[in-house]
Structure 1
Amino acid sequence: MSLFPEDAPYRVLARKYRPSDFGALIGQDAVVTTLANAIRTNRLAQAWLLTGVRGVGKTSTARIIAKALNCIGPDGNGGPTIEPCGVCANCVAISAGQHIDVVEMDAASNTGVDNIREIIEAVRYASVSARYKVYIVDEVHMLSKGAFNALLKTLEEPPPHVKFIFATTEVQKVPATILSRCQRFDLKRVPVELLAEHFRKVAEAEGAAAEPEALALIARAAEGSVRDGLSILDQAIAQAGSGIVEAAAVRDMLGLADRGRIAALLGAILQADPQAALAAVDSAHGAGVDPQALISGLLDMLHQIVRSKMAGSTDPALPEGDRQAIQRWSTELSFPAMHRLWQLLLKGHAETGQAPQPQQAAEMAILRCVHAAGLPDPDRIAKLIESGAAVAPPSRPAADRAAPAPAPVASATALPQDAESIVALFENREAQLCRMLRDRVSISVQPDLLILGQLGDLPAGFAADVTKCLVEWTGQNWEVRIEAAAEGAESLYMIAERAKADAHERALEDPMVKALLAEFPGAELTEPKPPRAPALPQLRSATA
Structure 2
Amino acid sequence: MSYLVLARKWRPKTFADVVGQEHVLRALANALESDRVHHAYLFAGTRGVGKTTIARILAKALNCEAGVSAEPCGRCDSCTAIDEGRFVDLIEVDAASRTKVDDTRELLENVQYTPAAGRYKVYLIDEVHMLSRSSFNAFLKTLEEPPAHVKFLLATTDPQKLPVTVLSRCLQFNLKRLPVALIEQRMQQICAAEGIDAEPGALARLARAADGSVRDALSLLDQALAFGGGGLRDADVASLLGTLDRGQVLGLLDAVAAGDANVLLERIAALDEDVPDYERVLDDLATLLQRVAVAQLAGAEAVAGEDGGEILQSLAGRLQPAQVQLYYQVAITSRRDLSLAPEPRLGFEMALLRMLAFRPAPDDAMPKAGAPRRLSQAAARRQQSPPATTASPAAPGGSAAGVADWPALVTDLGLSGALRTLADNCELVEATDEQLHLRLARRNAHLATRRLKERLTERLRERFGAGVKVRLELVEEAGETVADRAARAERERERQMREQLGNDPEVRELVDSFDAELAQESIRPIDAGRGPASD
Specify if TM > 0.5. Answer: yes
Residues in 1 aligned to 2:275 and 2:88: alpha-carbon distance in whole angstroms = 52
Residues in 2 aligned to 1:289 and 1:375: alpha-carbon distance in whole angstroms = 32
Match status 1:369 vs 2:341: no
Match of 1:134, SS? strand
Residues in 2 aligned to 1:373 and 1:9: alpha-carbon distance in whole angstroms = 59
Instruction: Quote the residue 1:249 is aligned against.
Output: 236
1:151-230 mapped onto 2 (5 Å cutoff): 151-230=139-218
Residues in 2 aligned to 1:387 and 1:102: alpha-carbon distance in whole angstroms = 67
Residues in 2 aligned to 1:65 and 1:287: alpha-carbon distance in whole angstroms = 48
Residues in 2 aligned to 1:89 and 1:159: alpha-carbon distance in whole angstroms = 24
Whichever residue aligns with residue 357 of structure 1, its letter is E
1:225-244 mapped onto 2 (5 Å cutoff): 225-243=213-231
Match of 1:145 among 133, 136, 141: 133
Instruction: Quote the residue 1:437 is aligned against.
Output: none
- The alignment's TM-score, normalised by the length of structure 1, stands at 0.66
Residues in 2 aligned to 1:200 and 1:240: alpha-carbon distance in whole angstroms = 17
Residues in 1 aligned to 2:111 and 2:247: alpha-carbon distance in whole angstroms = 61
- Residues 125 and 242 of structure 1, relative CA distance in 2, 3 Å threshold: closer
- Residues 121 and 242 of structure 1, relative CA distance in 2, 3 Å threshold: closer
Instruction: Quote the residue 1:273 is aligned against.
Output: 260
Whichever residue aligns with residue 140 of structure 1, its letter is V
Match of 1:341 among 327, 350, 375: 327
Match status 1:55 vs 2:27: no
Q: How far off is 1:335 after superposition? A: 3.6
Residues in 1 aligned to 2:314 and 2:253: alpha-carbon distance in whole angstroms = 13
Q: Deviations over 1:288-309 (max 9, x none)?
A: 2222222222112112223444
Q: How far off is 1:84 after superposition? A: 1.4
Whichever residue aligns with residue 131 of structure 1, its letter is R
Preserved CA contact (<8 Å) 1:67 1:94? yes
1:59-70 mapped onto 2 (5 Å cutoff): 59-70=52-63
Q: How far off is 1:246 after superposition? A: 2.1
Structure 1 residues not aligned, in runs of 5+: 1-7, 73-77, 391-512, 518-524, 529-544
Deviates more, 1:36-45 or 1:347-356: 347-356
Q: How far off is 1:46 after superposition? A: 0.5
Question: Displaced runs of 4+ in structure 1, greater than 3 A?
Answer: 307-318, 330-335, 374-390, 525-528
Q: How far off is 1:317 after superposition? A: 7.8
Q: Deviations over 1:478-505 (max 9, x none)?
A: xxxxxxxxxxxxxxxxxxxxxxxxxxxx
Q: How far off is 1:331 after superposition? A: 4.2
Structure 2 residues not aligned, in runs of 5+: 363-382, 388-420, 422-481, 491-526
Residues in 2 aligned to 1:288 and 1:85: alpha-carbon distance in whole angstroms = 52
Q: How far off is 1:315 after superposition? A: 6.3
Preserved CA contact (<8 Å) 2:303 2:313? no
- Number of residue pairs matched by the alignment: 384
Whichever residue aligns with residue 358 of structure 1, its letter is P
Whichever residue aligns with residue 266 of structure 2, its letter is A
Match of 2:310, SS? helix
Residues in 2 aligned to 1:41 and 1:173: alpha-carbon distance in whole angstroms = 32
1:257-268 mapped onto 2 (5 Å cutoff): 257-268=244-255
Instruction: Quote the residue 2:103 is aligned against.
Output: 115
Whichever residue aligns with residue 54 of structure 2, its letter is T
Residues in 2 aligned to 1:310 and 1:11: alpha-carbon distance in whole angstroms = 48
Instruction: Quote the residue 1:20 is aligned against.
Output: 13
- The alignment's TM-score, normalised by the length of structure 2, stands at 0.67
Whichever residue aligns with residue 223 of structure 1, its letter is D
Q: How far off is 1:327 after superposition? A: 2.8
1:95-494 mapped onto 2 (5 Å cutoff): 95-243=83-231, 245-312=232-299, 313-314=301-302, 318-319=306-307, 322-373=308-359, 375=361, 386=486
Whichever residue aligns with residue 247 of structure 1, its letter is D
Residues in 2 aligned to 1:329 and 1:362: alpha-carbon distance in whole angstroms = 21
Q: How far off is 1:165 after superposition? A: 0.4
- Residues 308 and 93 of structure 1, relative CA distance in 2, 3 Å threshold: farther
- Residues 328 and 284 of structure 1, relative CA distance in 2, 3 Å threshold: same
Preserved CA contact (<8 Å) 2:303 2:312? no
Q: How far off is 1:269 after superposition? A: 1.1
Find the structure with the greater CA-based Rg: 1
Q: Deviations over 1:248-271 (max 9, x none)?
A: 222211111221110010111122
Q: How far off is 1:79 after superposition? A: 0.9
Deviates more, 1:298-307 or 1:20-29: 298-307
- Residues 58 and 310 of structure 1, relative CA distance in 2, 3 Å threshold: farther
Match of 1:135, SS? strand
Preserved CA contact (<8 Å) 1:352 1:358? yes
Q: How far off is 1:356 after superposition? A: 3.4
- Residues 209 and 185 of structure 1, relative CA distance in 2, 3 Å threshold: same
